[in-house]
Structure 1
Amino acid sequence: MSQGDAQIDFYPATQAPIFRENWPRMRSHAIVPRSKEGWIDPVISEWSLEGAAWEDFHPHAEYNYVLEGELHISVDGEEVVLQVGDSATVPAGKLGRYWAPKFARMLTVYGPNPDGEESTDFKYEEL
């Protein structure tokens, strides 16, 4: 392939903004954004929690990789504690709870969601 045929999507580095004004200890931004119409390719985001917890229900799988800190995840009564370099998957159709007693920054990949179903049951809590 010649250089003129390259089709590279470039996503410049940006600082993750506060996710919502009333959730000041949670930051998130899309690296590869999702489509409201649905997606088959992975969606990638970076997010962080600082002395906070987050809970939501996903119609798609969610894969978290810890870049900094310590992240706790629980699903259906099972709990794991992730350190830097660890990863865990919350399966599609499950309510996941995520918390960082001090701080955690994660890279997250969302699995396919061809129908564009929204996540629900959001809950934010400061620890």
Structure 2
Amino acid sequence: MRPDWPNNRGRFIIPNHPQGWNNFALSEWELESCAWEDFHPHDETNLVISGELHIQADGKTVVLHPGDAARVKAGRVGRYWAPTYAKMVAIYGPNPVGMDSHSFKYWDL
């Protein structure tokens, strides 16, 4: 993602579009003893491939294991963390035109 976030790695398989999109975007990402938070205008569904992922949104926290999935609804802040390690596939979208994810925060655990 960014060099100053060394334990948050990811890649888009189907890229998002900065001008918005009416379909979906798909990514694979990993968290290693770190946490990540952002606001996104689109739905985001995460499917855990390996490890343990914690997701907090709307005052609720879920703990996911391989094969589990959870969705953060559009217009919410999602906080994601892996105490040790988590690898996920994430599906985003659709995304309203002219709206981007923002308020990114990262920290090591």
Residue of structure 2 aligned with 1:56, choices 38, 49, 52: 38
Structure 1 gaps of 5+ residues are 1-18
Of the three residues 56, 65, 68, the one matched with 1:83 is 65
Trace 1:24-43 onto structure 2 (pairs within 5 A): 24-43=6-25
**1:45/1:116 Cα in 2 relative to 1: closer, same or farther (>3 Å)?**
farther
Please give the secondary structure, in 2, of the residue aligned with 1:40.
Answer: coil
Match in the other structure for 1:15: none
Query: If the length of structure 2 is used for normalisation, what is the TM-score?
Result: 0.97
Query: How big is each residue's C-alpha offset from its partner over 1:34-91, in whole Å with a ceiling of 9 and x where there is no partner?
Result: 1112111110000010000000001000000000100000012200000000000000
SS of equivalent residue, structure 2 residue 6: strand
Structure 2: unaligned runs, 5 residues or longer: none
Seen in structure 2, the aligned counterparts of structure 1 residues 34 and 83 have a Cα distance that, compared at 3 Å, is: same
Question: Retained in 2: the 8 A contact 1:35–1:116?
Answer: no
SS of 2:84's equivalent in the other structure is coil
Greater RCO (CA < 8 Å, at least 6 residues apart)? 2
Q: Distance in 2 between matches of 1:116 and 1:41?
A: 15
Task: Verify the 8 A CA contact 2:42 2:96 in the aligned structure 1.
Answer: no
TM norm structure 1: 0.83
Q: Which has the larger Rg?
A: 1
Q: Which runs of 4+ in 1 moved over 4 A?
A: none
Q: CA RMSD in A?
A: 0.8
Q: How many residues align?
A: 109
**In the alignment, residue 84 of structure 2 is paired with which amino acid?**
K
Identity of aligned residues (%): 54
